[in-house]
Amino acid sequence: MYNLHCHSLLSDGSLLPSEVTVRYQDAGYKVIAITDHADYSNIKTLVPAIVEFANHWPKSAAIKVLPGVELTHIPPEHFKPLAKLARNKGAKVIVGHGETPVEPVAAGTNRAALEADIDILAHPGLISDADILLAKNKGIFLEVTTREGHSEGNAHLIQRALALGAKLILSTDSHQPEDIISPQQVIKIVSQEGLNEEDIRTIYFNVEDFLKRKGAL
């Protein structure tokens, strides 16, 4: 099991990156990405800090850590330059904070994020078919999240993404210890929202292929 969207106290989480990692390891995960929130105010210090942590995590550990970032509540025109900057600073997983139904995200954020060099569009809310097709064509994952509030868009996303053939990814978007749930709990939640066993196997296969390209498997 893999979780490529989680937060530490480097942004608005409550745990050190090491605590986040150990808790995911104990829950049975093989790979995580630490993707703390960033904009122009902190990206130049945040990403190197996460890279530094990931580089020092023991290679022999049962869990691998990828350095990442979540570009969050930024003006749509900032996505391309900030994604490029994050990549240059060493981010292996770039998440775009999508148009969740429970936060005041700027209109046009989903499209701007998808047009940038991101890997995952998080909690994209009532994403349009046109944007789902753009994600499909670019190989960008669309996130099905277990996080309360953000998950209100899951049913719409699952139905349309499956119909249009876009890639989905499962995540917890954890901020607090209680957000770090087991893979079995994640599967139980998303199964109730429209994903069957075959869908979940396909999701894991696609994520494993991505992780192999990132050198994490």
Q: Which two tokens stand for residue 107?
A: 């209109």
Contact present, 168 and 158 (Cβ < 8 Å): yes
* CA geometry: angle 170, 26, 203, nearest 5 deg: 20
**What is the pLDDT at residue 210?**
96
Domain residue ranges of the chain, discontinuous segments joined by +: 2-213
pLDDT, tens digit (0-9, with 9 covering 90-100), for 158-169: 999 999 999 999
CB atoms under 10 Å from CB of 45, counted, come to 11
Q: How far out from the chain centre does Cα 180 lie?
A: 14
Superfamily of domain 2-213: Metal-dependent hydrolases (3.20.20.140)
**What is the pLDDT at residue 215?**
86
Of 23, 31, 29, 17, nearest to 215 (Cα)?
A: 31
Q: Is the pLDDT at 179 greater than 90, yes or no?
A: yes
pLDDT, tens digit (0-9, with 9 covering 90-100), for 16-45: 999 999 999 999 999 999 999 999 999 999
- What is the C-alpha separation between 123 and 126, in angstroms, rounded? 9
**What is the pLDDT at residue 87?**
98
214: pLDDT confidence band, cut at 50, 70 and 90? confident
- What is the C-alpha separation between 66 and 98, in angstroms, rounded? 21
Single pTM value for the model: 0.97
**What is the pLDDT at residue 217?**
78
Choice among 107-116, 121-130, 165-174, 206-215 with the minimum mean pLDDT:
206-215
